[in-house]
A = this chain, B = another copy of it.
Amino acid sequence: MIILMRRGCTPEEVQTVSDRLKDMGYDINPIFGVEKTIIGAVGVPEYDKLEAADQIQGLSGVEEVIFVSKPYKFVAREFRPNKTIVDVGGVKIGGDEIIMMAGPCTVESEKQLFQTAEAVSRAGAKILRGGAYKPSTSPYSFQGMGLPGLQLLKEASQKFGLKVITEVMHVRKVEEVCEYADILQVGTRNMQNYDLLREVGMTRHPVVLKRGMNAKLEEWLLAAEYIASAGNENIILCERGIRTFEPYTRNTLDLSAIPSLNSLTHLPVIVDPSQGTGRRDLVGPMTKAAVACGADGLLVEVHPNPDKAIKDGAQSITIQQFEKLMPELAMVASAVGRELPLPIRA
């Protein structure tokens, strides 16, 4: 790391900082400029030394501490030469194929779920999404069907040949959710719920880690590092929009995160344009944009009758819209050298 000393710092302050750094195992190179003194500290990987930076920052005479390498290890691009492919019972996320995950925001009933599952499967989706435990901003909103919802997801998946992704919110329910779902989803509000991250890190289940709505890329990767360092490297990152001042969309979908992550990490990256925009009419264009700039998959809310949806009907597309979207997306995938295989219709 690099330490900028304050203008007018004393030689003793420089000495104290240097000594402290040497104690931590660094090689020290101070540069005495006309304006400022700079101390270069090298020789120790920075993910081992986050504390160090924090401590050095508090020393007298220190103006700023600058990292020169990444504070994460297992999830860093450098750690693995090749891109990770997360294998979900044969469905491979991170390879050439664009993987579609589709389904209702919330599991409401067998009829609603099965109808959707059948339709998205027929249109080419490989994974069924659906909320059984729902994080709601208000305590008075519907919190999901819970266990019966999980059971319906499992049934639907078996009946229609899909894998299941669903959100897990409670550390004490991780085991239960693992029993019914193929992929655990950690939601945006829980991206820095470290207790939950460690708990899902102790399973070997694939995890979709959604970006916190105010998370920097580095913080997001550090959250993934919590899971990876607990032993679970089956991590898929999901961009779902960040919070900005713009009121027209529910969030601002940060698609530049996709190519950025593709150079920072070896993990697959998918996109949720439903949460990311909050508007049904933007879902189609944003799925295409996501595929065009390198997404490995998409998480899309589909509802057989959005007018009757309990939650988030405004951002769900209909089955008909999904069916129309799939071949269009397949063309974009093909234009950028990826595949989105569509079932052959009889």
Contacts and interface: CB of A to CB of B under 8 A. Distances in A.
B51 A42 contact: no
A211 to B, nearest CB: 10
A256 interface: yes
Contacts of A147: none
Nearest to A32: B42
Given A2-B38, A243-B245, A289-B292, 16 more contacts: A4-B68, A32-B42, A33-B42, A35-B68, A55-B313, A58-B314, A62-B314, A136-B194, A137-B192, A139-B194, A189-B193, A189-B194, A242-B246, A248-B260, A256-B285, A288-B336
Interface string A275-299: 0110101100110111111100000
A140 B75 CA distance: 14
Contacts of A40: 31, 33, 38, 40
Interface in A180-219: 189-190, 192-196, 213-214, 216-219
Contacts of A313: 54-55, 57-59
A31 to B, nearest CB: 4
Nearest to A276: B256
A258 B243 contact: no
A148 interface: no
A109 interface: no
